[in-house]
Amino acid sequence: MGLKKRHTFIKLKDFFLYAVPVKIGFTSGKILLSMSEREIALLESMKESPQQLRMRFVSPRFSHEIGLFLKILIKQIHSGNGAGNAVLVDLKILSPSDDFKTILIDLFQLYEELEQAWEARKESRTGIPTRLLQQAEISSALHLIIPGSGRYRCLVKEIGLTTCSLYISKSLAPALNNGIEQLSLEVVWSQGSFLVQAAITGTIQDTHQEGVKLLTAELQFSPALTDLLLPMIRMIEERTGDPPREDGGENGDSQSYNAQGGDSQGGDTEEAEIT
């Protein structure tokens, strides 16, 4: 939460290497890189000499993206065997700026607040229907990631902090009914995307739309999703006085499932199924 996806780079001499943050603190961190043997050798030669790490932070709480350069030392390099290794790098952060420390403190406090809000609503089924997702800058289309199978496009019927209902292609039903319980959802919003861990609940239901099924899933705590949805969840709770219960039925808001359509945020047209 807070780091903009695909916008972290380590600067080595005159070029940048894409990195995935694993852990970032005030004075140390870990990043993951995919590197050739030649690049690993270059990285090794630069241990204990100051380098730069570029990061961008985003959050609905920030008025704009925040980009920072951090001065770092490469302390340890953990690599596997062969070319194209995934390399884990231990960093020491030198003289972290006040802006960097403030961002981390704000994000840590925000994480705690969001976790408490999620726990307080763990048994609630309050959800946001498709027509209101735009207010939270969330696309009504997301991707279902099935372990060992692939990444598939689907549409949201309703999504909350702890549950969601999704329209999926009928062709996915056999795979999901074949003992798969855990999956991931890639949620797309105006400033990027993030993953939410989910578990299938109940049976996959038929709908009135040909070739479309309705999948209901329980969601694990996601600080990013909670941060986006919580203001609308609270507004609904204030209006109703009693959080509505998601029953997974056909009543309520629905949207025609276009198996070939693009996401509501725009971009390339893609198939409903990606193999």
Q: DSSP characters for 3-33?
A: BPTT--EEEETTEEEE-EEEEE-SSEEEEEE
pLDDT score of 17 more than 60:
yes
What gap in Å lies between CA 215 and CA 6, rounded to an integer?
A: 30
pLDDT score of 19 more than 60:
yes
Residue 174: CA count within 13 A, CB half-sphere: 2
pLDDT of residue 242: 58
pLDDT digits (tens, 9 = 90+) for 206-227: 888 888 889 899 999 998 899 8
pLDDT of residue 15: 80
**Domain definitions of the chain by residue range:** 9-97, 122-274
- Mean pLDDT of the residues in the chain: 78
Report the share of the chain in percent with pLDDT over 90: 20
* pLDDT band for position 74 (cuts 50, 70, 90): very high
pLDDT of residue 92: 95
Higher-confidence position of 242 and 255: 242
pLDDT digits (tens, 9 = 90+) for 220-246: 999 889 988 998 888 888 887 754 333
pLDDT digits (tens, 9 = 90+) for 42-71: 888 988 889 999 998 876 566 778 888 999
pLDDT score of 262 more than 50:
no
pLDDT score of 191 more than 80:
no
**Yes or no: is domain 122-274 CATH 2.30.40.10?**
no
Core vs surface per residue 52-91: b (16+ CB within 10 A) or e: ebebbbbbeeeeeebeeebebbbeebebeeeeebebbbbb
* pLDDT band for position 162 (cuts 50, 70, 90): very high
Higher-confidence position of 80 and 75: 75
pLDDT of residue 260: 32
pLDDT score of 177 more than 80:
no
pLDDT of residue 257: 36
pLDDT score of 84 more than 80:
no
Among 47-51, 155-159, 177-181, 223-227, the minimum mean pLDDT is found in 177-181
Arithmetic mean of pLDDT, 13-31: 87
pLDDT score of 274 more than 60:
no
DSSP H stretches of helix in the chain? 37-45, 98-120, 173-176, 223-240
pLDDT score of 256 more than 80:
no
- Considering 159-168, 202-211, 244-253, the range whose residues carry the highest mean pLDDT is 159-168
Instruction: Report residue 155: phi and psi, to 5°.
Output: -120, 145
What gap in Å lies between CA 209 and CA 167, rounded to an integer?
A: 10
Arithmetic mean of pLDDT, 90-103: 90
